[in-house]
Structure 1
Amino acid sequence: MHIKQTKSLSSFKITVALGFFYWLKQQPGFKHDDHTYTTMVGILGRAKQFRAINKLLDQMVKDGCQPNVVTYNRLIHSYGRANYLNEAVNVFNQMQKAGCKPDRVTYCTLIDIHAKAGFLDFAMEMYQRMQAAGLSPDTFTYSVMINCLGKAGHLAASHKLFCEMVEQGCVPNLVTYNIIIALQAKARNYQSALKLYRDMQSAGFEPDKVTYSIVMEVLGHCGYLDEAEAVFSEMKRKNWVPDEPVYGLLVDLWGKAGNVEKAWEWYQTMLHTGLRPNVPTCNSLLSAFLRVHRLAEAYNLLQSMLNLGLSPSLQAYTLLLSCCTGAHSPYDMGYIVIMAVTGHPAHVFLLSLPSAGPDGQNVRDHASKFLDLMHSEDRESKRGLIDAVVDFLHKSGLKEEAGSVWEVAAQKNVYPDAVKEKSSCYWLINLHVMSDGTV
């Protein structure tokens, strides 16, 4: 009920804004300009109301107002946030045909949205085109590219670009340091991450909540959970008020360390400070309960999420499905009951999965509709779910269905560059984007 009210309130605000916009349009002596049109495009873009945007752009041109670079940039950003990358590139091409020259923000936005979606080659191409257009990278661009290279596994190139940035006189900011420290941490180069943290402080930068969180995570992964808690205390001493994600991190670290009691203790501490848990924190605690087969607590946690108006996420359902697949005990039925409680569309998808027909097209159609429904979920989450679904179907003896689901996912770019045929009977499989089970 709470979620429906929130959604309708959001729609109500958009309706009011659009109504006010058109009311102004009818007032004698008032004429909308490119600034007010662009503002309305931004509002509709955040709400993913693309049909309304296209209608508005048509009216904008009829009113004698041409979209400017800011209008196009907001449209590109809106499409990018909704994972409509082809449409974002189309806008980029349209603006140039209309004689509107892309600026640094245009290129940076395209680089950022494609890097986040895993299209790293395209992000690099945009970076090169930006330089060819005579636009020198700024701190934000360098930061995005450092992140892009790092996420592609090119840590050496990422660090080289960081050094180039400094040599070019482009001063790294706290965000840049946070990115490069986080990349080293993700690559499990924990000592390098801690050294960069010290270098950052030597350069005169004070850590923020993001930095503290990264360092706490590094210490946690090194097994130094008491030291991670000490960093939490330091953060409070420096007058940073811990927010929900910081408490969530401690819940996650202790849960992964197998100490469910400590994870639960930090969860309760967070609640006592008046903070409302978010879905990732609930997922972390859910994972901790499931690891030790405490299904009653897992069930109660999911019920409390629903009571708080939180919808169990795709990641939560993926976790439950993976545990169900790996369980060979009396707990199996318990997992299925909990999965049903989530009410997630993925559960409906699995329950209604048809048996493979002669050519498997019915399963492919079913999977295609589901992935269209999940379009705006991030690629990594969709990939994790498909891994879990394929593994579940395969171990359930539904091998044809498993193959058809994976085929559709590959066509919809859930697994970019996952499998490449180099020659007859010689294939390259990218283990970075598939679980061992799916491979």
Structure 2
Amino acid sequence: MVSLRCVPNLVTYNIMIALQAKATNYQSALKLYSDIKNAGFQPDKKLFFEEMKRKNWVPDEPVYGHLVDLWGKAGNADKARIWFQAMLDAGLCPNVPTCNSLLSAFLRAHRFPDAYEVLQSMLALGLQPSLQTYTLLLSCCTDTRTHGDMMFCGELMTITGHAAHAFLVSMPAAGLDGQNVRDHASNFMDLMHSEDRESKRGLVDAVIDFLHKSGLKAEASSVWEVASQRNVYPDALREKSSCYWLINLYVMSDGTAVTALSRTLAWIDIVTGWGRRSRVTGTSLVRQSVQELLHIFGFRFFTENGNSGCFVGRGEALSRWLLQSYVERMHLL
């Protein structure tokens, strides 16, 4: 803009400061704030709280909420709590996203008693924990390293009273074909139809990750199938051309990515070996080596259509093999 002699206005500066702050480039955000003054602009009340106080502006709920969120994401849960309390002292009522910001700060620091106080404050203020609230707690539960912390997270999830908790604790054990879990997940998706896609994606990702890391891999796979069919992960799996598939794993947690990849591979025939016109004959030492390697991996790929050099795997047998722990470690390499 500057090189084209287009002078940035206050709106442009605000956008740039917000982006730098979101990217945690706080020094760059402060530099832009100085540039505003040097350019002759008067910062508006979206920028800094101290500047607002000096100009006798009255902070509102969004301003306090941004400060709580800013300090929480910066890893300073105590500062976030100070601004949260200042909001209450000013006679303002925080909304659910602001409470979630403070809750997230305490959960990242594994300060569960403080997280408990935040949840109790929400309920005392008449605020209903949201889908994002439960997602934060479930993700924290998955990442905890001690049984005590996991139990505490479980108590916090129960306190929310959210429908997502009822869905998770009533999850049936996967049957032979997983249809009972798919039905359970589908009914829950119907219940959550009014939630925005990003919120549903966040919860489904947390649920699959939790199930997978808890050893309930068949249940995780069935939930993924329903989520994929419901387009919770839009464009996550696409057939770009014949025999050329694209799966986008970067928007998923590790457990969800492994589950998604395993199920996708199970839907597609996997062929290893060589073709009929290959100069390598089907009875060569190469074939023997490939067969021995597959045997070491524990899966019996079978030959098809008389081509002794081609080994094929498909269906549920392939799916079960792909979910073996030693195979999973190879998926994302």
Asked whether the two chains share a fold, i.e. TM above 0.5, the reply is yes
Name the counterpart of 1:284.
101
Structure 2 residue aligned with 1:424: 243
**What CA deviation, in whole Å up to 9, does each residue of 1:112-142 have, x standing for no partner?**
xxxxxxxxxxxxxxxxxxxxxxxxxxxxxxx
Aligned residue identity for 2:185: A
Structure holding more strand per residue: 2
Alpha-carbon distance in structure 1 between the residues aligned to 2:235 and 2:39: 39
Counterpart of 1:378, as a letter, is D
Matched residues in 1 for 2:244 and 2:216: separation?
Answer: 25
Deviation at 1:173, TM superposition (A): 7.7
Look up the match of 1:395: 213
Q: Which residue does the alignment assign to 1:21?
A: none
Q: Could you tell me which residue of structure 1 aligns to residue 299 of structure 2?
A: none
Question: How far does residue 320 in structure 1 lie from its aligned partner after superposition?
Answer: 0.7
1:236 equivalenced with 2:72 (yes/no): no
Tell me whether 294-303 or 393-402 shows the greater mean CA deviation: 294-303
Any unmatched runs of 5+ in structure 2?
A: 258-333
Cα distance in 2 for partners of 1:403, 1:243 equals: 45
Counterpart CA distance in 2 for 1:188 and 1:288 is: 15
Question: Which of 195-204 and 389-398 deviates more?
Answer: 195-204
For the pair 1:360 / 2:170, whether they are aligned, the reply is: no
Which structure 2 residues correspond to residues 42-191 of structure 1 after superposition, within 5 A? 178-179=14-15, 182-183=18-19, 186=22
Q: Decide whether the 8 Å contact of 2:107 with 2:115 is kept in 1.
A: yes
- How far residue 266 of structure 1 moved from its aligned partner, in angstroms, is 1.9
Distance 1:421 1:333, change over 3 A: same
What is the TM-score when the length of structure 2 is the normalising length?
Answer: 0.65
Note the C-alpha offset of 1:342.
Answer: 0.2
- Over 3 Å counting, the alpha-carbon distance change for 1:338 and 1:191 in structure 2 is closer
State the Cα distance separating 1:311 from its structure 2 match: 0.6
Cα distance in 1 for partners of 2:196, 2:128 equals 16
Alignment match of 2:203 (pick from 385, 392, 395): 385
Moved over 4 A (4+): 171-181, 183-206
Q: Does 1:435 align with 2:253?
A: yes
1:301 aligns with 118
Deviations 1:3-29 (A, max 9, x none): xxxxxxxxxxxxxxxxxxxxxxxxxxx
Which of the numbers 152, 158, 161 marks the counterpart of 1:343? Answer: 161
SS in 1 for 2:256: coil
Gaps of 5+ in 1: 1-158, 213-230
**SS of equivalent to 2:246:** strand
**How far apart, CA to CA, are the structure 2 residues paired with 1:248 and 1:387?**
26
Q: Is the 8 A contact 1:208 1:240 kept in 2?
A: no
Aligned equivalents of 1:309, 1:347: Cα separation in 2 = 19
Calculate percent identity across the aligned residue pairs: 71
Work out the CA distance in 1 between the residues paired with 2:3 and 2:130: 39
Note the alpha carbon deviations across 1:189-216, whole angstroms, 9 max, x for none.
Answer: 7677667666766777644344x1xxxx
Is 1:334 equivalent to 2:152 in the alignment? yes
Number of the residue aligned with 1:264: 81
What is the alpha-carbon distance in structure 2 between the residues aligned to residue 346 and residue 425 of structure 1? 36
Paired residues, number: 255
- Secondary structure, counterpart of 1:420 in structure 2: strand
Alpha-carbon separation, structure 1, partners of 2:88 and 2:253: 35
RMSD: 3.2
Highest RCO, 1 vs 2 (Cα 8 Å, sep ≥ 6) = 2
Q: Structure 1 residues 235, 193: closer, same or farther in 2, change over 3 A?
A: same
Tell me how far apart the structure 2 counterparts of residues 257 and 415 of structure 1 sit (CA, whole Å): 29
Structure whose CA Rg is larger = 2
Q: Whose helix proportion is higher, 1 or 2?
A: 1
Contact 1:302/1:342, CA 8 A, preserved across alignment: yes
